[in-house]
Structure 1
């Protein structure tokens, strides 16, 4: 029986999002510290939900690459937000599929819900609920892939 790798997504103490990839006895874990990134995004007037999605993708890619170096990572997920992504304060991400070079990952913690991502402005307009699906394929550049493989072989 083949053992599938597992990707675990979870909220830790309402202050960070944990991303862990595990395969047999090996695992790699990274955290997105929400207070730090939110403070930066708010200070620079950046849309926190859009930025969180970018960061979420890259943290998953990095975590899986450190466990099993790969050329292509495919992420498929649905996103629901309380408003358009550039104005949203709440987001729900439902991971559907994660695949690294044709190796499918079992997903533990498929749904991630975050609230309070946008700083209250006191000027609340009518919200327009938003929903979309993403099917992203991210490529690891050859020079970066070589470094991940060297790290893994040590």
Structure 2
């Protein structure tokens, strides 16, 4: 039986760390929450939704650096205290990840984020949950660059 690549996602003091490892190859990227959240607030963008978009792209980039691939499949569940456009808190549970059919072992805790947006005094939390089953394609020109970096 071969060695499976590993995806490690952890929450730290400054944000979320995403690491991928396969044999001696390692790639790591951090999402610095305070920096991006301020941008989203200033531009009146929904932080929970924007975080999920960023989360997908950081995982894709991190994995592409160790295993260049055309299609990345991500499956995760999200629980929030309101619909994603209005949520100020959310939890992400990463379920499965594969790059062109190569499955990753997931070493991740539930990613819990709070204070994503300021809420009014009359804010009423409503439990909201949704499952994502993403299939994200790498453009050919980008895939070519990752393959060149690998060689």
Question: Shorter-chain TM-score category?
Answer: over 0.9
Specify the alignment match of 1:2 in structure 2. 2
Tell me, which stretches of 5 or more residues in structure 2 are unaligned?
A: none
Give the distance between the partners of 1:104 and 1:41, measured in 2 at CA. Answer: 33
User: What is the deviation of 1:25?
Assistant: 1.2
Specify the alignment match of 1:137 in structure 2. 135
Equivalent pairs, count? 151
Q: Do the aligned residues in 2 keep the contact of 1:73 with 1:99 (CA within 8 Å)?
A: yes
CA deviations over 1:123-146 (Å, ceiling 9, x no partner): 433222110111000000111100
Specify the alignment match of 2:95 in structure 1. 96
Specify the alignment match of 1:33 in structure 2. 32
Q: Secondary structure of 1:35's partner? A: helix
Once superposed, what is the RMSD of the aligned Cα atoms? 1.0
Give the distance between the partners of 1:62 and 1:22, measured in 2 at CA. Answer: 13
Give the distance between the partners of 2:118 and 2:123, measured in 1 at CA. Answer: 14
Q: Do the aligned residues in 2 keep the contact of 1:70 with 1:145 (CA within 8 Å)?
A: yes
CA deviations over 1:61-111 (Å, ceiling 9, x no partner): 000001110000000010100101000011101111000000000000142
Tell me, which stretches of 5 or more residues in structure 1 are unaligned?
A: none
Give the distance between the partners of 1:125 and 1:116, measured in 2 at CA. Answer: 13
CA deviations over 1:1-56 (Å, ceiling 9, x no partner): 3100000000122x110000000111000000001001100111110000000000
Q: Secondary structure of 1:95's partner? A: strand
Mapping of residues 53-64 of structure 1, within 5 Å:
53-64=52-63
Give the distance between the partners of 2:114 and 2:121, measured in 1 at CA. Answer: 18
TM-score of the two chains, using structure 1 as the length reference: 0.95
Q: Do the aligned residues in 2 keep the contact of 1:19 with 1:59 (CA within 8 Å)?
A: yes
Q: Secondary structure of 1:96's partner? A: strand
Give the distance between the partners of 2:11 and 2:78, measured in 1 at CA. Answer: 17
Q: Secondary structure of 1:80's partner? A: strand
TM-score of the two chains, using structure 2 as the length reference: 0.96
